[in-house]
Structure 1
């Protein structure tokens, strides 16, 4: 499923779409160059609309959501997953409440309640958190940062100087983070719920962006204000914002501000990583990539797609009781316009050096767990899938 963006003005159009606006109605036909039957479609709207309703040309209701991307209290965009090649009508209202649809995604950011011992019974839910330089909330946050999922996969982002993207694998399709809170108990595991499947440590995890000094990755140590915010909670996609305001990448350099949006839509494995910079980032190199899973095989097409398949413990040695070795497939695709060079694998990572264009960087991360009842069981299967997947997100 591919996402397309359209700006809602007097007349709407974009490559691969045909859209028109008349009063409070927008007509749009999602199209794709791939073979996807469903297309995630984002339409920007003006301020003041309270609700949106999407229907097909024959009157069938299509679930949708309104998102406030910039956090000013009013909706910026309508998002829906429509049928490619079929005309859809968006009806906006300033009076009617938004219809509620069955959730297909979920996100949570939580403080740890010290009065509750169970790791899957925490109850201090928050929407955002900002800390000052030198403050590390890693241990005060349950599962150490924001976690989000759809029915196939789940991710979390560490709230510390690493800002690592970590993953949670599932045995069966379904939303389950609200139940397990990333830490399933023995009873939940016996029922087939998923678990943490990757140990990331100090590595790049799955597509984490860090500074680069020409020799090694640089953690986000010197940041004036570090934030995480749940921008959108569904029902069709979740968006998590990570903001590093006043990041001094190397001592003596001019601070920059980096705002990263992680977007996960229903029915997709991959997460879109969209990064905007403020300040002088145009000539600066950064590094991203994927962890070198123990004894993993590697795949690369030399054009921005890199992947691995391997098996290792998902936790540190001291926490390994109750866990088993986990087999995972990881993948990252970075459009070639951002790629400076692909570095050889080292003991920790499969690194890729990148440079923003116009203070912007966008790439895609994805993974699978061999535990999945519907998924991939070998590196050959996984790599074949990724070659086709890349075509859908270009």
Structure 2
């Protein structure tokens, strides 16, 4: 499965090369691979063949290899150069996301200008090259001290506790015909006087720009939260569905790394009986009620440079309203 996915992502480049060589048999083979390119894709890629520099917690030398499951090394932290683009990534033809798999635990957006899979390319020509504009797109969100869009932590009333203290973190990748998902099991996540295990399952589907997030803590505690990064002069929008079961928080405006006039919309949909919207220091927050039940929410974004994408605030609001109605009627987006 993984080999076909990677071949599919590289099909266009290879096809062009083959055309130059006029190799008919190879061209036909690549076209066949391109036709079976999956609709969704997720990956995590780690370095093999190098070694840890203990005093700086950096991984030196080696090359990146995709894995289907892993335990995050104790040495790993932000900018360890160990995980390609610093965590797992999800994508479909319209959008792509990544999660910083370290103490930050924020979710970032890869804005895509093309409608083909790009993640196998990202970070292969220099660890942080994805910050630069490229034909496929680029990293467009500056998370800073926030949870990015849809990351998760614990709101303590005046700050967000991220994942500074975790005994063990396990990751599993799954690519299927229906969706692509990443399951992360955090063992012994400690914040203040609370220690819990937390299971996170984040999925992307063949169509549209959203991720589905499911969080299941092992103990009931207050403050489990997600959110959207705050930017100056970008107002918060809120809306509740007609029957009151679902709501969203959202922002729209110039809030990317891509350019002065670049527009991005971000939203989180949540169940009103599971959570409420509040303000944090760096995020517009959705804070879940204490529970050991699965907490489900959706992360949504729209970048105005997407191919055939959403170009205006009005169109973004209309899209959010359509999704809110679908949640009202079906209880899910999939």
Question: What is the TM-score normalised by the length of structure 1?
Answer: 0.63
Any runs of at least 4 consecutive aligned residues in structure 1 with deviations exceeding 3 A, and if so which? 112-115, 131-135, 180-186, 323-326
Aligned residue number for residue 203 of structure 2: 263
CA drift at 1:273? 0.3
1:284 aligns with 2:218: no
Superposed, 1:20-99 pairs within 5 Å as none
Change in Cα spacing, 1:176 to 1:135, as seen in structure 2 (3 Å) is: closer
The answer (yes or no) to whether the contact 1:162–1:220 under 8 Å persists in 2 is yes
1:129 aligns with 2:70: yes
Aligned residue number for residue 40 of structure 2: 105
Q: Secondary structure at the match of 1:381?
A: helix
Structure 1 segments unaligned to the other structure (5+ residues): 1-99, 116-121, 315-322
CA drift at 1:185? 9.6
CA drift at 1:133? 5.6
1:233 aligns with 2:175: yes
Change in Cα spacing, 1:297 to 1:377, as seen in structure 2 (3 Å) is: farther
The answer (yes or no) to whether the contact 2:131–2:140 under 8 Å persists in 1 is no
1:378 aligns with 2:320: no
The answer (yes or no) to whether the contact 2:105–2:147 under 8 Å persists in 1 is no
Structure 2 segments unaligned to the other structure (5+ residues): 1-34, 51-62, 241-245
CA distance in 1, matches of 2:79, 2:186: 15
Which has the larger Rg? 1
Q: Secondary structure at the match of 2:84?
A: strand
Aligned residue number for residue 119 of structure 2: 177
Bigger share in helix: 2
CA drift at 1:109? 1.0
The answer (yes or no) to whether the contact 1:310–1:329 under 8 Å persists in 2 is yes
CA distance in 2, matches of 1:102, 1:287: 35
Deviations 1:221-261 (A, max 9, x none): 1111022221x1234411101221011121x33x2100000
CA drift at 1:123? 3.8
Q: How many residues align?
A: 271
The answer (yes or no) to whether the contact 2:78–2:103 under 8 Å persists in 1 is no
Deviations 1:20-75 (A, max 9, x none): xxxxxxxxxxxxxxxxxxxxxxxxxxxxxxxxxxxxxxxxxxxxxxxxxxxxxxxx
CA distance in 2, matches of 1:185, 1:205: 15
Aligned residue number for residue 296 of structure 2: 362
CA distance in 2, matches of 1:222, 1:134: 13
Aligned residue number for residue 146 of structure 2: 203
Change in Cα spacing, 1:382 to 1:286, as seen in structure 2 (3 Å) is: same
Change in Cα spacing, 1:134 to 1:185, as seen in structure 2 (3 Å) is: closer
CA drift at 1:103? 0.9
The answer (yes or no) to whether the contact 1:104–1:234 under 8 Å persists in 2 is no
CA drift at 1:101? 5.1
The answer (yes or no) to whether the contact 1:310–1:327 under 8 Å persists in 2 is yes
CA distance in 2, matches of 1:342, 1:131: 32
1:335 aligns with 2:278: no
CA distance in 2, matches of 1:138, 1:391: 41
CA distance in 2, matches of 1:183, 1:113: 20
1:245 aligns with 2:187: yes
CA distance in 2, matches of 1:285, 1:123: 36
Aligned residue number for residue 152 of structure 1: 94
User: How well do the aligned residues superpose, as a CA RMSD in angstroms?
Assistant: 2.6
